[in-house]
Amino acid sequence: MDEPQKDDKATKLEEGVDFYFDPGGLMVLTAHYLRNRGFCCGSGCRHCPYTDEERAAVQRRNSSSSL
């Protein structure tokens, strides 16, 4: 049987556009990728394109759901 096709958008990241590696070797997502992903994860990403209010709302939502 054929393998299910994965969403190309979710699997093909372009280095230098969607991410880069910092001097310590960590993969860092760019604002371009994070904006195209369409939501704030609330993890404090280095290049988060979302406003302080949007980030705070996600953090409040995440902390209330863990109760």
Which tens digit of pLDDT belongs to each residue from 9-20? Answer: 556 999 999 999
Spell out the domain ranges in the chain.
Answer: 27-67
Task: State how far the alpha carbon of 13 is from the alpha carbons of 22, 41, 46, 58, in Å.
Answer: 16, 18, 18, 25
pTM over the 0.75 mark: no
Residue 64: per-residue pLDDT: 83
Low-confidence ranges of the chain (pLDDT < 50): none
The percentage of residues in the chain with a pLDDT greater than 70, rounded to a whole number, is 81
Residue 22: per-residue pLDDT: 98
Q: Could you tell me whether strands 27-29 and 19-21 are parallel, antiparallel, or unpaired per DSSP bridges?
A: antiparallel
> Is residue 21 helix, strand or coil?
strand
